[in-house]
Amino acid sequence: MTGPLGGVDLHAPVDDRWFEDYVPGSVYEFGYSTLSETEIVDFARRYDPQSIHTDAAGSAAGPFGGLIASGVHTIAVCMRLYVDHYISHVASLASPGLDEIRWPHPVRPGDRLRIRVAVAEARTSRSRPDRGLVHSAVEALNQDAAVVLSFTAMNFFARRPSS
């Protein structure tokens, strides 16, 4: 994984990044992560054993013309990029959930993925003023710039200590 792409990163490094550093309208890209056939099959055997994800030979005649990654695997691989590069390593509190997960394009063995993250919304908590909730619009793109996954993530981050 190479980190921020295009030379654009959040101003604050991950180990000194707080709620205030997530500025709505900002867009970042991070990469890369490549999925091998072995990884795709191993993950699917454990968590999503449908033949389209586990049977390379059989899936060749299937609707996608070959093996494709489990959608949950794609989420997991992109979560790794999100956690390594975007989420604060000191101020992340919890995530209440994810919205509108979509898989518009299949992920195939050898695909190299990157994520594009846009800060969509950031508001401080009324009940707990030491933190804020950030909505981030996440897309994963393959080497041909096709969007293979999109979702909105919600994360609570602690506010920067006013020392």
Tell me the closest approach of the beta carbon of residue 7 to its own copies, in angstroms. 25
Q: Does residue 123 touch its own copies according to CB under 8 A?
A: no
Q: Does residue 50 touch its own copies according to CB under 8 A?
A: yes
- Cβ–Cβ < 8 Å for 81, 28: no
Tell me the residue length of the chain: 163
Q: How many whole angstroms separate alpha carbon 39 and alpha carbon 145?
A: 22
Beta bridge partners of 134: 122, 155
Of these, 5, 12, 56, 101, which contacts its own copies (CB under 8 A)? 101
Q: Which of residues 56-95 bind its own copies (CB under 8 A)?
A: 63, 70-72, 75-77, 79-80, 83-84, 87, 92-95
Q: How many whole angstroms separate alpha carbon 157 and alpha carbon 129?
A: 11
- Cβ–Cβ < 8 Å for 30, 39: no
Q: Does residue 109 touch its own copies according to CB under 8 A?
A: no
Residues near its own copies (CB under 8 A) are: 46-50, 63, 70-72, 75-77, 79-80, 83-84, 87, 92-103
